[in-house]
A and B are shown apart, each in its own frame.
Chain A
Amino acid sequence: MWQFIGRRVALGVLTIFITTVAVTLLIHLVPGDPVQIMYAQSQGTTPEQIEQIRTSLGLDRSIPEQYVRFVGRLLEGDLGVTVRGRQPVLDLLLQRLPNTLALAFSAMAVAAVLGLPLGFLAAYRRGTMLDTALMTLAIAGVSVPHFWLGLLLLFAFAVELQWLPVAGTGPLNLVLPALTLGLSNAAIVARMTRSSMIDVMSQDFVRTAHAKGLPKAMVLERHVLRAGLVPIITMAGLQFAAMMGGAIVVENIFAWNGVGRLAIEAIFQRDYPMIQGFILVFATVVVVMSILLDVVYALVDPRIRRG
């Protein structure tokens, strides 16, 4: 158990360490002079100002020195300021992070609520028309681009029918983005649930249970459901990461005010301090949440401890 948690945490620490290195290097990979790209706004910055900025960003030092400086500041909670408007990067990201997390978790909930029962149903009715229909729906669901689905939902429910608000960051505004992100994922969850349940149903202990004459419902509940859910729950960390990734696009469709919108804006504005901050915060959140989900799961299910 502790060994498992230790390994997960070690990998997480390694990931965050590599992120900090990558983020420091990122600015050096940019073709052209990043300082010029970032700061030559408006009425022309003077060469002295450019030099001053270079010094204040520490770009005049060696890369290892820059790295140490970056980490030092990071530990103080300082990720620098944005190019546009000189706002503290970390504050902006943390102000918006709750919205992104809310979207990712709501989408996971939608996916679970729809995907698990439908996947289970398909497995239970394996080989029937219902199974075929559900699985066709699922593969179609996986294939529909969610930026398209999102636009269709936006135009149908917010613009045309006006059932839901078009702007702002209230609970009603969360409905459409969460559905958009959740629906395509529900298809994935349904597919995984089905194959996992089928695996379990064909296993010996289930057959034995049936042979012992246990009522079908009881077999399902006691054995199939529990065992079948195991591989699905272990995917929760991965699912969460996928939802966070998907959120970046979906936020931009619905103007949901999360970190994904900040990131896309920053890319267009070549706002490198913001891009660096985003990558770091995003990676950290994904890593930490995945570890938490895995650890919680390991606590619940003793079998994982071998792993």
Chain B
Amino acid sequence: MLADQTTADLASSPLETGRPEARSGFAARLFRSPGGIIGLAIIALLVILAVFADSLAPFSPTRMGAGRRLLEPSWRHLAGTDEFGRDMFSRIVHGARLTLKIGAIAVGISLAAGLTIGLIAAYARGIVEAVLMRLSDVLFSFTETLIALACVAVLGPSLENAMVAVGLAGIPYYARTAYASALVEVSKPYFEAAIAAGAGPVRLVLLHLLPNILPTMVVVATLGLSSAILAAAGLSFLGLGAQPPAPEWGAMLSAGRDFFNRAPWLMLYPGLSIALVVLAFNLLGDAMREALDPRGAD
């Protein structure tokens, strides 16, 4: 869901990342960009919340209490409580873990499958290339939303299925990008030299192609994390993803809308959390792209 917008944004042409000079000073350039630093900081916070959720959350994310319903944010309940009397701050903290997991699994699926398809197509050429890439074009034109919805329709609503759906929906985009980047590498002298030196296909792909397109793919995956998180939250918002009592942000936001009048914090914090995390990955992805490809940087 929604994923289309952020990925469509990334230029579909491959980045010129094969040049060693582009990679030197990458970290320095990354840290010079305020966006990159802010993005990294938010992501670091997210990781800390996710890893130490059990000790950082003051209450259980699922424990209900009739006497604590819809309490306003206070020192005791930093983000208030929901209609069941559950502590919203604790739920948001535990939600960070789910969010990271969702992003990692969905992007993992897209990246693994996309890389495999893209590399095989670029290396094999001929009929294999034609079939794989036309298929990717076809799937790409379906839009990620449609693919994700179709997957959920087949598999049924659950958080696991939503992750798989978002992961599958992303494959065509990753495949196209991997393919385009690999094509650039294949035409370079070093690659031809490697062929001339008698390197086998596995060696060529794994030792030459893969490492050289990896930087591009890492940028794509970073930006992809933002769209995957957004997409999965969208599915959960529609009730097609996480099921209760999972403290998933999209589902929490959806549950909170009934209380818009009486407890606006129920809608505010989960929405803000999603927006911040998505923003963080977008900022970091942008900064990484510019750091890798200084041409475009200011």
Contacts and interface: CB of A to CB of B under 8 A. Distances in A.
Direct contact of A and B (CB under 8 A): yes
Interface string A265-300: 011100010010001001100110010000000000
B233 A184 contact: no
B238 A15 contact: no
Interface of B: 1-2, 4-6, 8-9, 11, 35, 134-135, 137-138, 141-146, 149-150, 152-157, 226, 230, 233-234, 237-240, 250, 253-254, 257, 260, 267, 271, 274-276, 278-279, 282-283, 286, 296, 298
Contacts of A246: 1-2, 4-5, 145
Contact of A139 (B11, B240, B283): B283
A110 to B, nearest CB: 14
A185 B9 CA distance: 10
A152 B257 CA distance: 9
B138 A148 contact: no
Q: Which 9 A-B pairs have the closest CB atoms?
A: A245-B145, A148-B271, A242-B4, A143-B279, A143-B278, A245-B143, A15-B138, A241-B143, A147-B237
Interface stretch (A23-31, A69-77, A215-223): A23-31
Interface of A: 11-12, 14-15, 18-19, 22, 26, 29-31, 126-127, 139-140, 142-148, 151-152, 155, 159, 184-185, 188, 191-192, 195, 235, 238-239, 241-242, 244-246, 248-249, 252, 263-264, 266-268, 272, 275, 279, 282-283, 286-287, 290
A31 B151 CA distance: 12
B296 A188 contact: no
Could you say which of A18, A235, A248, A279 has the most chain B C-beta atoms within 10 Å of its C-beta? A248
B178 to A, nearest CB: 19
Interface of B is mostly: helix
B154 A286 contact: no
A140 B283 CA distance: 9
Given A139-B282, A248-B1, A249-B238, A188 B9 contact: yes
Nearest to A30: B154
A244 B4 CA distance: 10
Contacts, number: 151
A7 B35 CA distance: 41
15 contacts: A11-B138, A14-B134, A18-B138, A31-B155, A31-B156, A139-B286, A142-B6, A143-B226, A143-B230, A245-B145, A248-B149, A249-B238, A268-B239, A283-B141, A287-B141
A195 B8 contact: no
A270 to B, nearest CB: 8
B8 A239 contact: yes
Given A263-B149, A286-B142, 11 more contacts: A12-B141, A30-B154, A139-B286, A155-B257, A235-B8, A241-B143, A245-B146, A264-B238, A267-B153, A268-B239, A279-B146
